[in-house]
Amino acid sequence: MNNTSFPVAHLQEKALKQVRDLEKHLREETGEEIVLVAYKRETTAQEGNK
């Protein structure tokens, strides 16, 4: 059973700026509207003991 969840990550301002800069770079390279989403991996104790 997979007990891993991926809630949205709460990024500090510096990390958020890096994500936005990467979105802009990818948008310029591809001509596509690129949106990156940050999730935080959370593992339950049960999965961690495999």
pLDDT for 43:
77
Query: What's the one-letter identity of residue 47?
Result: E
As beta bridge partners, residue 4 has: 43
pTM confidence score: 0.69
How many Cα atoms sit within 13 Å of 16 on the Cβ side?
Answer: 6
pLDDT for 42:
83
The pLDDT tens digits for 19-42 are: 999 999 999 999 999 999 999 988
pLDDT for 1:
46
**Domain segments of the chain as ranges:** 4-48
